[in-house]
Chain A
Amino acid sequence: MAPLLSVKNLSIGFGKDDSVVQDVSFDVAPGETLALVGESGSGKTITCRAVLRILPKAAQIRSGSIHMQCAQGPTDLVTLEERKMRDLRGNQVAMIFQEPMRSLSPLHRIGNQVAEVLWLHGRKSEAEAKKEVLACFERVGFPDPERTYSSYPFELSGGMRQRAMIAMAMVAKPQLLIADEPTTALDVTTQAQVLGLMKELQRDTGMAMILVTHDLGVVANMAEQVVVMHKGRVMEAGSAEPLLSTPAHPYTRALIAAAPKIPAAAEPQALPSREDLILEMTAVSKTYSMRAGKGWKAPSLIHACRGVDLKLPRGKTLAIVGESGSGKTTAARIALGAEPPDAGGTVVFRGREGSDAIQVHQMDRTARTAFQREAQMVFQDPYSSLSPRMRILDTMTEPLEIHDIGTRAERRDRAAEMLNTVGLSRDMLQRYPHAFSGGQRQRLSIARALMLNPSLLVCDEPTSALDVSVQEQILRLLERIRDQQKLSYFFISHDLAVVARIADEVAVMRRGLIVEQATPETLFHNPQHPYTKALIAAQPEPDIHRPIDLKLVAQGAGSPDDWPEQFRFSGLDAPPLVPLEPGHKVRCHV
């Protein structure tokens, strides 16, 4: 069959610099999915944008052709005049972007933004367009299409917004859909559902798809053809099955090796000993009250954390896993004393073995300063957690200055030593953060957190903003430092596979409640709770023979009212956390 889209020898560059995309060729057959895989900076996004010619102003297509079998015959998209290109966009070739939060205008109703595609391409009257949009909304899974039509984007959750984006792309029934990291900003369970939806729609309409992603797990679940890109060049291309099972190129092999996997059949392991606890949270709850819209109504309460009990033994890693809004970050903030728990909750911290226990939320000024030396945090986004106006040296030595430790020279030496520890060199001290890549910045964040020689490190999704191969390096670094410096980690993540690797104990959280708690081995070997099962099932893996089980995902990730009898509850009336066997607790009725 003749390919729908045929990209030949495409080269794109900025200004006078070397091309960022060099000599890229691939074909997309009708009804087929092609995955463009690579890390950030590989040129995959530029390549897919070149198809629609929505490149940054400074970028130019230097050579090559992009031929498409359009409705009106074969066309070269590189030389097509702008006006005709406009008719093509949204109509025959549609696109979905990475950030559903920001890809919709906040000031226009969803219905208006979606129906606009039909208005623009002038095929429908307003009433007809609305009818079609409503049908499309229903198809992508909005329970109440009419209501969605007149909603604003900020009234929808991230997953729902991405569904709206998909509806926008699908409503004109394009022949080709370009999806640029469509699920990267979503939770695993939402990601699984959105991917399932895209696949279903593709089967219904027979459109072709270009899927741009860095996640080989997503590729294995979605694509028939794969193009692996690195530094603007195609490393390897071919059918998904052989490429993923027997990769030929070393770069592909490295990518697959770096992808985090859930261990297939692990043996249950005993819990670490619980004698010397560095951190102990007991009955920690946190309730926020939201100001109600109408002044005379009682404010609505949001239960961010409910009755969380956690124990972190010294030198170990305790992980909390959950989707956004599950309360995992709130729990970490309370553990660090950044926020007080509701009355009745206590957090006890023992900085060094045998030292006095500190009540984290009843400290005076001096105790708090001392506590801050012992407990530090590594943040999620390495781009915004380092001040762009401070040299690395100043950022690194600031904690020492605050706590008045050492002379200038000593602080400097300590900073250099820490850079060494995290695998950077000391001559980087004079640079500013913008001179570093994402992975290097996260190393800097870790180095800064280590400056005070703490005993507890709270890591809030430290790798979720990074490429897989970089994620692998950061995790290895964190493990090495933990073992060398006898650190304890309180680790927060939405990614089970990451947690599986680093944690000694995992607590799965959902809507403020811990639903299951065990060692990672037990959790993956013998998950009990439907939500845990959903999380595991939703994890995309670079194995084409292990597709995401959407039924499991839908069941567990749904509302607690729909869980199987044993686990079901509604409202705040949750069953207790019951120990099944030593070290394995599940929230269920007994």
Chain B
Amino acid sequence: MEILRYALYRFGTMLLTLWVVSVLVFVIINLPPGDYLSNQIAELRASGQSAGVAKAEFLRSEYALDKPLWQQYFIWVGFLPGPHGFSGLIQGNFGWSFEFDRPVAEIVGDSLWLTVLVNLAAVLFVYVVALPLGVLAAARARTWVDYTSAFVGYLGLATPNFLLALILFYYGHRWFNLPIGGLMDPAFEGEPMSMAKVNSILIHLIVPTFVIGTAGASAMMQRLRANMLDELGKPYVETAIAKGMSPTRMLAKYPLRVAFNPFVADIGNLLPSMISGSVLVSVVLGLQTIGPTLLTALKTQDMFLSAFVLMFVALLTLIGTMISDVLLVLLDPRIRYEGRDA
């Protein structure tokens, strides 16, 4: 019960944070002078195309860009009625992309959940690889197992992601006949979901997961190893051995359990760093994630689009930290009982 209450509380703070983030995002996006439309109007005026100017002026009032900034913000979020009544983020209207001349929802569409998918796969990869290797490296500290895993890990950390991507594509294609680029076969794009489409996506996911995950995995592995080594010197480990536990069982039950905390706490950090880190990889690999879209939107001052993408990334991050906080409370009684009468 207590944990449910905590989760609710944590959800509440998340919403609050999200609101603060929305203010920041909006302010930052509006910091550069002018907006997409006023830039365009100036350009059109200079070249004497008055028809275009009229359209742009129309759009300006349509999206309330002629209103003061604070009103624009409230209209964008959906706290205040715009020219067409309440129609903001909380009502599910993500705005209009001027650059692509389409609704934002339509542009991001598929790439939203593909982003989530790619990054979840990468996070999963990080954990699946780092957990056994980190524990093994700690248990066999200062032996060839430890040194080899550290060497491979540092290689993973030091290799630029896009280079790794290119190499993997080349050899993946050559040896395993893995597809190059994209997150699904072009034939499936825009098609409804089917077994064949899922299959295609899964096969396309292999290389990006590996590329995005390696650096995170090797960093995580080293961290876990260091934590484990700290814990292995603690007296309670000796107590466990003196009870007659076998080393493997002891390792899994006691030191790993303690070393697991930072491991879990990292989920929150991992998500945003992966999303921002995977932008370049997405461009190189031609993944239909949200990264490349964000890049274009920021370059062209396409405010609604970039604001939406930034909000989305913020939301993912906040969800990540919330999950790790709730997990930590579940895992560690010291956090759970903080403030309880002993």
Contact = CB atoms under 8 A, between A and B. Distances in A.
A388 interface: no
Nearest to B257: A107
Interface in B268-293: none
A97 B334 contact: no
Given A117-B243, A154-B334, A102 B234 contact: yes
Contacts of A117: 243-244
Interface string B132-145: 00000000000000
Contact of B258 (A95, A104, A106, A290): A106
Given A102-B236, A103-B235, A293-B341, A116 B258 contact: no
Interface string A74-113: 0000000000001111110011011100111111110000
Nearest to B342: A155
Most chain A CB atoms below 10 A, which of B235, B236, B239, B242: B242
B244 to A, nearest CB: 4
A120 B245 CA distance: 7
B32 interface: no
B243 A120 contact: yes
A291 B239 contact: no
Nearest to A121: B244
Contact of A103 (B238, B333, B341): B238
Contacts of B242: 52, 54, 89-90, 94-95, 97
Contact of B239 (A103, A156, A300): A103
B340 A99 contact: no
A89 B244 contact: yes
Contact of B334 (A87, A109, A121, A152): A152
A98 B238 CA distance: 12
Given A52-B242, A105-B236, A117-B244, 17 more contacts: A54-B242, A86-B246, A89-B244, A90-B244, A95-B239, A95-B242, A98-B235, A99-B235, A102-B236, A106-B334, A107-B257, A107-B258, A107-B333, A116-B243, A120-B244, A168-B239, A293-B339
A291 B338 CA distance: 10
29 contacts: A54-B241, A90-B243, A90-B244, A95-B239, A97-B238, A97-B239, A97-B242, A98-B235, A99-B235, A102-B234, A102-B235, A102-B236, A103-B238, A104-B236, A105-B236, A106-B236, A106-B258, A107-B333, A108-B253, A108-B254, A108-B257, A120-B244, A121-B244, A154-B333, A168-B239, A293-B338, A293-B340, A293-B341, A300-B341
Q: Which 8 A-B pairs have the closest CB atoms?
A: A293-B339, A90-B243, A89-B244, A90-B244, A95-B242, A103-B235, A105-B236, A102-B235
Contacts of A108: 253-254, 257
Contact of A152 (B238, B254, B258, B337): B337
Contacts of A121: 244
A52 B253 CA distance: 21
A271 interface: no
Interface string B319-338: 00000000000011110011
Given A99-B235, A107-B332, A155 B245 contact: no
Interface of A: 52, 54, 86-91, 94-95, 97-99, 102-109, 116-117, 120-121, 152, 154-156, 165, 168, 290-293, 300
Contacts of A109: 333
Contacts of A155: 337, 342
A89 B333 contact: no
B94 to A, nearest CB: 37
Contacts of B236: 102-106
Contacts of A168: 239, 243
A106 B331 CA distance: 11
Given A89-B244, A120-B244, A155-B337, A97 B342 contact: no
A416 B339 CA distance: 49
A290 B341 CA distance: 10
Contacts of B333: 106-107, 109, 152, 154
B340 to A, nearest CB: 5
Interface residues of B, number: 26
A70 to B, nearest CB: 13
Contacts of B258: 105-107
Contacts of B340: 293
A99 B234 CA distance: 11
Contacts of B244: 86-91, 117, 120-121
A97 B245 contact: no
Interface in B222-272: 234-236, 238-246, 253-254, 257-258
Nearest to B255: A105
A109 B235 CA distance: 17
A133 to B, nearest CB: 13
B1 to A, nearest CB: 14
A121 B238 CA distance: 17
Nearest to B258: A107
Contacts of A107: 257-258, 331-334
A216 B63 CA distance: 87
Nearest to B338: A293
Contacts of B341: 293, 300
A1 B239 CA distance: 31
Contacts of A116: 243, 245
A17 B339 CA distance: 50
B235 A89 contact: no
Contacts of A102: 234-236
Contact of B257 (A95, A98, A105, A293): A105
Contact of A89 (B241, B253, B339): B241
Interface string B2-28: 000000000000000000000000000
Contacts of A52: 242
Nearest to A107: B257
Contacts of A290: 339
A94 B333 CA distance: 28
Contacts of A156: 342
Contacts of B334: 106-107, 152, 154
A52 B246 CA distance: 14
A89 B340 CA distance: 36
Contacts of B254: 105, 108
Nearest to B246: A86
Contacts of A105: 236, 239-240, 254, 257-258
A154 B245 CA distance: 23
B337 A54 contact: no
A56 to B, nearest CB: 10
Most chain A CB atoms below 10 A, which of B244, B254, B331, B341: B244
A467 B234 CA distance: 23
Contacts of B235: 97-99, 102-103
A109 B333 CA distance: 9
Contacts of A98: 235
A94 B240 CA distance: 11
Nearest to B240: A105
A102 B341 CA distance: 21
Contacts of B245: 86, 116, 120
A117 B241 CA distance: 11
A104 B239 CA distance: 7
Contact of B339 (A54, A104, A291): A291
Nearest to A293: B339
A97 B342 CA distance: 24
B146 to A, nearest CB: 14
Nearest to A152: B333
Interface in B18-56: none
